[in-house]
Amino acid sequence: MAEAHQAVAFQFTVTPDGVDFRLSREALKHIYLSGINSWKKRLIRIKNGILRGVYPGSPTSWLVVVMATVGSSYCKVDISMGLVCYIQRCLPEGCGPYQTPQTRALLSMVVFSTGVWMTGIFFFRQTLKLLLSYHGWMFEMHGQTSHFTKVWAICVRLLSSRRPMLYSFQTSLPKLPVPSVPATIQRYLESVRPLLDDAEYYRMETLAKDFQEKTAPRLQKYLVLKSWWATNYVSDWWEEYVYLRSRAPLVVNSNYYVMDFVFIQNTNIQAARLGNIVHAMIMYRRKLDREEIKPVMAQGIVPMCSSQMERMFNTTRIPGKESDLLQHLSDSRHVAVYHKGRFFKVWLYEGSQLLKPCDLEMQFQRVLDDPSPPQPGEEKLAALTAGGRAEWAQARQAFFSSGKNKAALDAIERAAFFVALDEESPRYDPEDEASLSLYGKALLHGNCYNRWFDKSFTIIAFKNGQLGLNTEHAWADAPIIGHLWEFVLGTDTFHLGYTETGHCLGKPNPMLMAPQRLQWDIPEQCRAIIENSYQVAKALADDVELYCFQFLPFGKGLIKKCRTSPDAFVQIALQLAHFRDRGKFCLTYEASMTRMFREGRTETVRSCTSESTAFVQAMVEGSHMKADLQDLFRKASKKHQNMYRLAMTGCGIDRHLFCLYLVSKYLGVSSPFLAEVLSEPWRLSTSQTAQFQIRMFDPDKYPKHLGAGGGFGPVADDGYGVSYMIAGENTIFFHVSSKFSSSETNAQRFGNHIRQALLDIADLFQVHKADS
């Protein structure tokens, strides 16, 4: 076959006359172009490194300073106050055409100008860092901005007005501050007060005060020292101990899923949809490599940390016996594909050129049309990534460290990302409530062996053209993959498009090298381990009850009529729903981001507060006046918003206590208080899905172009996991998970309580959809 010949750069044959070399000019051309492309990337990285390193300065601003210095010299004005002459005297003596007095004077002025320019850059960066350390604007009421904040905003805009690259602000972002121990203890005790009776609270208060006075000061000193030395005192420990050292299976416990547009369908051709989507993803990766993506800005002013984006592509979680590690490559030119129990390697480039969507469609169609059966042990191989981490690490070392198995595994682990071509056709049908839940289950775990759960993300392409993502959690948090997904869906719909018959635009090149089937040699002993991992993962997957639904009566638009934040409204509704479901309150986790700080990730908002429980109890009693209930709700909402802001500004509770606990373990110090705090179960774990981080299209003009967000498994065996997306002005999507094995939880029952709680709170303010 022509493709096979092109795959070999040269061949040789030993003959009686010597060695006969046969060169493939086509293959050598591709190698040459690949090398050129690699050097282009290096040069772009060097250029970006320079531009990022001098931001908010630029080569042009340096030239302006040099010209001003030289110009003033010709006008007989010494703006350097003698420094140019001093530099000139310090220059080494020499001879030759470049050591004339004029040249030495010019060189001295260039050195002086460069020093002034770099000093200015340092000053501007430190000033910007100081400005970004101010968070008072977050605590001001909407429409009541102080004069100080207005001046602050103008200064920030002036210092960041030049078009920034993705990482331009990284060195200007402040470090995450270490809260004081008394403040953290006070906030902790306040958060558990509604969950404990008087005796339990007194016991916990005694433990906390004892810890604060005796153990904490020593631990805090080490933590402050780390905060001075490290870029972020939390993030590296959080990644290692919460994610990489966990030995539990990734499926259900850690990985989460993201849904496609659910109200529109661009094409029902599986390979065509995937061709456009993969092409759009590599376009995004190219923008990422060139730092052409704009940094995310809070309120359009404050830059968010972009460091998590660095490991979006070409990243795999490698299992270890005690701890996993994240392997990130600078580049990858292929994707790994799974279909009907077979693994393939599909190239993304021809030479230095990214394949067009129509070429990618053809390549994926070739995989779909391939009639070859799975090799022995190949079909369920990916179940190893779904089972226990220690078992996968042992199997990897024993059976995949050499030979063809290592080569095939490398092809998967070194891929840009993983692609799963499914034979099922789930799709959301508003007339069939169960359809969204089935779609979510397919994305969350599939059949437990048709996803490579270790990859940074897996694209799942269903037979009907519907898509979704399954994402590994250690490398980044949900808003990061959401940013990519918004770009990809917008590019697919509004920029790439399809023909009238649903295929990708353009004419494919039939001479492209066919997808490469990966070869395995999996012995019986390894197959037994694969089967065991599969049974472990299947038991987890079968135990998950997932209830996904669209809440239609109202959305963000009508919630605002209650004069509260949509997030606070939903969180208080969740407290009311949980109390009606379980008859008690529980420790509640809501994820908040700390990306206003360098390398910030998340912080916990403890949503179950004294104010929210007072409102819930009043609602359940049913004897209070509507005005009293409204007042209690507003107090609860105000409290929640304040806690959320505190978490975002580095004044949370749980990350500080988590790090103090780790320091105590390193020092061998026993703390009953920290041990108890870190063992408390989160029976209600919640998260809001970010949307419209980038404006790929006008949502008012295209109201049907909505994704349904995503979801995750329950954190506690007897608890709930709730993800929600406030999708525009008129709808909210919920993803509720629990475990069938728990007699106390039922995802659908809880979902119905959430519906009713939202309606009941809206009725307090006489907010109805008919009012809009």
∠ CA(644), CA(647), CA(651), 5° rounding?
135
Average pLDDT over residues 374-389: 97
Instruction: Return the active site residues.
Output: 473
| 56 cis-preceded (ω within 30 degrees of 0) | yes
What is the C-alpha to C-alpha distance for residues 727 and 694, in angstroms, rounded to an integer?
A: 15
What is the C-alpha to C-alpha distance for residues 569 and 121, in angstroms, rounded to an integer?
A: 44
What is the C-alpha to C-alpha distance for residues 66 and 58, in angstroms, rounded to an integer?
A: 13
Average pLDDT over residues 735-764: 96
Helix, strand, or coil here: 392? helix
Q: Which residues have CB under 8 Å from 331's CB, separation 6+?
A: 38, 41, 289, 314
Residues 285, 289, 290, 294: is their CA dihedral positive or negative?
positive
The helix (H) or strand (E) run that includes residue 326 is strand 325-328
Sequence-ordered strand ranges (E) for 139-259: 256-259
What is the C-alpha to C-alpha distance for residues 718 and 251, in angstroms, rounded to an integer?
A: 18
Helix, strand, or coil here: 193? helix
Question: What tens digit of pLDDT does each residue of 502-543 get?
Answer: 999 999 999 999 999 999 999 999 999 999 999 999 999 999
What is the C-alpha to C-alpha distance for residues 632 and 612, in angstroms, rounded to an integer?
A: 8
**How many CB atoms neighbour CB 171 within 10 A?**
15
Closest CA to 372 of 400, 342, 345, 409: 342
The helix (H) or strand (E) run that includes residue 630 is helix 626-648
Q: Which residue has the tokens 């704009």?
A: 294
pLDDT the model gives residue 624: 85
What is the C-alpha to C-alpha distance for residues 445 and 427, in angstroms, rounded to an integer?
A: 16
pLDDT the model gives residue 588: 97
Check: CB of residue 208 under 8 Å from CB of residue 185: yes
Question: What tens digit of pLDDT does each residue of 41-86 get?
Answer: 778 788 888 877 888 888 888 888 888 888 887 887 878 788 888 8
Weakest-pLDDT range from 292-306, 688-702, 704-718: 688-702
pLDDT tier for residue 2 given thresholds of 50, 70 and 90: very low
Residue 319 DSSP label: P
Residues 576, 438, 539, 677: is their CA dihedral positive or negative?
negative
Mean pLDDT rounded to a whole number for the chain: 91
What is the b/e burial string over 388-417, where b = at least 16 CB atoms within 10 angstroms of the residue's CB? Answer: bbebbbebbeebbeeeebeebbebbbbbbb
pLDDT tier for residue 103 given thresholds of 50, 70 and 90: confident
Question: What tens digit of pLDDT does each residue of 591-611 get?
Answer: 999 999 999 999 999 999 999
Helix, strand, or coil here: 735? strand
Average pLDDT over residues 685-689: 95
Q: Which residue has the tokens 């604007």?
A: 137
The helix (H) or strand (E) run that includes residue 302 is strand 302-303
pLDDT tier for residue 720 given thresholds of 50, 70 and 90: very high
**How many CB atoms neighbour CB 35 within 10 A?**
12
Residue 23 has pLDDT above 60, yes or no: no
Question: What tens digit of pLDDT does each residue of 455-510 get?
Answer: 999 999 999 999 999 999 999 999 999 999 999 999 999 999 999 999 999 999 99
Question: What tens digit of pLDDT does each residue of 222-256 get?
Answer: 999 999 999 999 999 999 999 999 999 999 999 99
What is the C-alpha to C-alpha distance for residues 46 and 289, in angstroms, rounded to an integer?
A: 11
Strand partners, 549: 734
687, two tokens: 């998260």
Residues 357, 363, 367, 370: is their CA dihedral positive or negative?
positive
Q: Strands 342-347 and 334-339: what pairing?
A: antiparallel
Strand partners, 457: 471
What is the C-alpha to C-alpha distance for residues 417 and 719, in angstroms, rounded to an integer?
A: 32
476, two tokens: 């980044």
What is the C-alpha to C-alpha distance for residues 747 and 681, in angstroms, rounded to an integer?
A: 18
**How many CB atoms neighbour CB 755 within 10 A?**
18
Residue at 354: amino acid letter: L
∠ CA(377), CA(533), CA(375), 5° rounding?
10
Residue 419 has pLDDT above 70, yes or no: yes
The helix (H) or strand (E) run that includes residue 556 is helix 556-559
317, two tokens: 């979680």
pLDDT the model gives residue 42: 77
